Amino acid sequence: MGRVSFMLVVAYGKEISKNTYDTLGASDISSYLSADFRVSIKPNLVVPGPASNGAITHPEVVDGIIRYLKDFGVGKIKIIESSWVGDSTIRAFKYCGYEELAREHDIPLIDLKGDSSSVYRHGNLDIDICDEAMNTDFLINVPVLKAHCQTRLTCCLKNLKGCIPDAEKRRFHTLGIHRPVAALNVLIKTGYCVVDGICGDLSFEEGGNPVVSNRIIAGRDPLMVDSFCAELIGYRPDDIEYISFAKEFGVGEYFSQDTKLVELNSEAKPAHQAGSSMVADKYKSIIDEDAACSACYSSLVYALHRLGGKARKDGKISIGQGFMGKSGAGLGVGNCMRGFRTYVPGCPPKATDIVEALK
């Protein structure tokens, strides 16, 4: 996919549109983007419903992208999408707030369910891809960071499954979803990735168990972004089979210590809102929380959910800014807990590191 970018930008906070705009401004997207490009924005609108359920891309994220593109001088912008098999993209555009967004910015909404398609080959695998996804100069992939009941994670790489006809989506599952998803990312060239990490669902692609994290993540390489995001919800990259295949197929590189990571608004990470998730509520009895940031708290919830909440039997897990400067004999999570005998470093820490500490 050309020159790989070794840069990721993460912004925290509740001002979704502004933070998205600022994330792109701090990123290296300008190295790849040109004002005369035809740009297609591909969100995740798997089902009609509010973004607060944790399943669909917040329209405010796409609003921030559009505002950045317009200020950059881009004049040809589209939003393209195909909801999952059996549901209506048109309904999703309406009920997810995208009709209003498109009117405000005077840009077209393209339902890929009605698009023509062409067959492309990677290795010995033929894949039917919607023409709109291929006939663009710059595709901006805007997934939701969330767990998935079949593949564990769905983010940038899997979001491109919305760029194929419904019949091909069904066929992907008969082939085993992982290898086709990886091959699809070889054939569709992603211009840039902007991940909605506001409140992704913890267990199911359709939503219903959101965990508030309030972050936007952006980078050029979809494999690098996905490998980074996998660790945020408690998995090593190789735990996700299609991520391993994408690495094998040369889609990009994994996030590593050589990746330049830029964080915005680190000091303004919002406090966790109690009761924001039914899943999170399950673990309240084993968490001692005092002014914990949402990104840090969500990492702990992801880790506990990953382990079924059964890993901690010797006292509560402490987390939050209220513990700064204090000591304790139990397990602490995050840099605020560095005074504890045992703590998981990070601001926020990765869920994978919390999993290992809980084990």
Decide: residue 234, CB within 10 A, 0-12 exposed, 13-18 middle, 19+ buried. buried
Give the span between the Cα atoms of 101 and 121, in whole angstroms.
35
Task: Choose one of 205, 234, 267: the last residue of a domain.
Answer: 267
Instruction: Say whether both 215 and 283 belong to one domain.
Output: no
Element containing residue 146 per DSSP (H, E): strand 146-148
Give the span between the Cα atoms of 214 and 84, in whole angstroms.
25
Instruction: Say whether both 242 and 289 belong to one domain.
Output: no
pLDDT in tens, 265-298: 987 665 554 334 556 667 888 899 887 876 788 7
Instruction: Say whether both 173 and 215 belong to one domain.
Output: yes
Confirm whether 359 is domain-assigned: no
Give pLDDT, residue 276: 40
Residue 18 belongs to domain with CATH number: 3.40.50.11440
pLDDT in tens, 53-83: 888 999 999 999 999 999 999 999 999 999 9
Task: Choose one of 267, 301, 328: the last residue of a domain.
Answer: 267
Instruction: Say whether both 293 and 227 belong to one domain.
Output: no
The β-bridge relationship of strands 146-148 and 152-154 is antiparallel
Token duo for residue 228: 């980074």
Say if residues 60 and 16 touch (Cβ distance below 8 Å).
yes
The total domain count for the chain is 2
Instruction: Say whether both 225 and 303 belong to one domain.
Output: no
Mean pLDDT value across the chain:
90
Instruction: Say whether both 218 and 328 belong to one domain.
Output: no
Examine the pLDDT at 309 and tell me if it is beyond 80.
no
pLDDT in tens, 231-269: 998 899 999 999 999 999 999 999 999 999 999 998 766
Task: Give the angle subtended at the CA of 62 by the CAs of 57 and 63, to the nearest 5°.
Answer: 135
> Which is higher by pLDDT, 144 or 272?
144
Confirm whether 303 is domain-assigned: yes
Instruction: Say whether both 310 and 263 belong to one domain.
Output: no
Give the span between the Cα atoms of 215 and 217, in whole angstroms.
7
Nearest to 23 by CA among 9, 8, 13: 9
Which range, 132-136, 309-313, 325-329, has the best average confidence (pLDDT)? 132-136
Say if residues 56 and 142 touch (Cβ distance below 8 Å).
no
Confirm whether 272 is domain-assigned: no
Q: How far is CA 181 from CA 135, 245, 341, in A?
A: 19, 9, 44
Instruction: Say whether both 203 and 285 belong to one domain.
Output: no
Task: Give the angle subtended at the CA of 194 by the CAs of 127 and 175, to the nearest 5°.
Answer: 25
Element containing residue 285 per DSSP (H, E): none
Instruction: Say whether both 257 and 282 belong to one domain.
Output: no
Confirm whether 2 is domain-assigned: no
Phi first, then psi: what are they for 154, rounded to 5°? Answer: -130, 125
Task: Choose one of 200, 234, 267: the last residue of a domain.
Answer: 267
Confirm whether 358 is domain-assigned: no
Give pLDDT, residue 203: 66
Confirm whether 333 is domain-assigned: yes
Examine the pLDDT at 327 and tell me if it is beyond 70.
yes
Instruction: Say whether both 341 and 319 belong to one domain.
Output: yes
Confirm whether 204 is domain-assigned: yes
Confirm whether 43 is domain-assigned: yes
135: containing domain: 7-267
Instruction: Say whether both 24 and 161 belong to one domain.
Output: yes
pLDDT in tens, 171-206: 998 899 999 999 999 999 999 999 999 998 876 566
The β-bridge relationship of strands 190-197 and 109-111 is unpaired
pTM for the whole thing?
0.83
Coil, strand or helix at 321: helix
Instruction: Say whether both 187 and 291 belong to one domain.
Output: no
Rounded to the nearest 10°, the torsion over CA 330, 334, 336, 339 is 40
